[in-house]
């Protein structure tokens, strides 16, 4: 089962991005795992993602990014970027990830990390990138995980452990069931 995990680089006041740091730690701990760091830019991030996807051809794609909240947030859907400003959240402007949500949440919590499900990826580059992945069918299984800022009890290893658990939930769900598509 081929998996790709992406994180973002630094941006704005965040000179350290917990998602990119944790993805690097996870990649170092799992030599076979494909990882990539994306630039925080509405155009460049999807382009870098598509490059990595073309290289890796993942069956399981876990996108991650930083959110200023002291717990992990597993995003179930993305809204079409063009509709962020004007429109209510209606189904026509929504795409949904596919992941064993419940199992992933339990697995992250089992590492000792607080985690929740979310329907709001934040209307920034994270959501643009999630939308781009879903709209182009980058992989049969796609989800987006928001990671808390480092510091205040969070270091890269702790975030990486939870991230790894989230990924493993998807890998074991795919091997238990049949291969999607």
Site for other proteins in 23-82 (CB under 8 A): 76-77
Please state whether 112 falls in left (phi above 0), alpha (psi between -120 and 50) or beta.
left
Q: Which of 29, 87, 102, 135 binds other proteins (CB under 8 A)?
A: 102
Stretch that binds other proteins, among 79-87, 99-107, 129-137, 155-163 (CB under 8 A): 99-107
Across the beta sheet with 34-38, what order do the strands follow?
A: 34-38, 3-8, 60-66, 141-147, 72-75, 115-118
| Stretch binding other proteins (CB under 8 A), from 10-18, 45-53, 78-86, 173-181 | 173-181
H-helix or E-strand spanning residue 123: none
Tokens describing residue 162? 């939870």
Q: How far is the CB of 27 from other proteins (least distance, A)?
A: 24
User: 107 or 145, CB closer to other proteins?
Assistant: 107
Q: Please give the size of the binding site for other proteins, defined by CB under 8 A.
A: 28
Beta strands in 31-164 (DSSP E): 34-38, 60-66, 72-75, 77-79, 94-96, 115-118, 141-147
Structure tokens at 180: 């999607």
Least CB distance from residue 141 to other proteins, whole Å?
6
Asked if 101 interacts with other proteins (CB under 8 A), we say yes
Measured between alpha carbons, how far is 20 from 16 in angstroms, rounded to an integer?
8
For residue 9, give every residue at least 6 positions away whose Cβ sits within 8 Å of its Cβ, in sequence order, or none. 17, 20, 37, 38, 39, 40
> By CB under 8 A, what part of segment 131-170 binds other proteins?
140-141, 169-170
91 touching other proteins, by CB under 8 A = yes
Q: Give residues in contact with other proteins (CB under 8 A).
A: 76-77, 91, 96, 98-104, 106-107, 117, 119, 140-141, 169-170, 172-174, 176-181
């Amino acid at each position: 089962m081929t998996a790709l995990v992406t994180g973002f680089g630094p941006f704005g006041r965040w000179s350290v991005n917990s998602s990119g740091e944790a993805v690097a730690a996870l990649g170092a701990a799992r030599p076979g795992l494909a990882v990539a760091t994306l630039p925080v830019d509405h155009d460049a991030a999807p382009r870098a993602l598509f490059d990595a996807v073309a290289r890796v051809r993942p069956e399981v794609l876990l996108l991650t990014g930083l959110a200023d909240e002291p717990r992990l947030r597993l995003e179930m859907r993305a809204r079409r970027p063009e509709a962020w400003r004007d429109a209510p959240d209606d189904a026509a402007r929504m795409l949904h990830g596919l992941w064993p949500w419940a199992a992933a949440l339990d697995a992250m919590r089992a590492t000792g990390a607080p985690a929740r499900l979310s329907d709001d990826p934040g209307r920034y580059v994270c959501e643009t990138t999630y939308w781009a992945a879903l709209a182009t069918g980058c992989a049969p299984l796609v989800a987006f995980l928001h990671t808390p800022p480092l510091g205040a009890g969070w270091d890269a290893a702790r975030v990486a452990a939870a991230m790894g658990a989230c990924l493993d939930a998807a890998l074991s769900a795919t091997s238990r069931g049949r291969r999607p598509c």
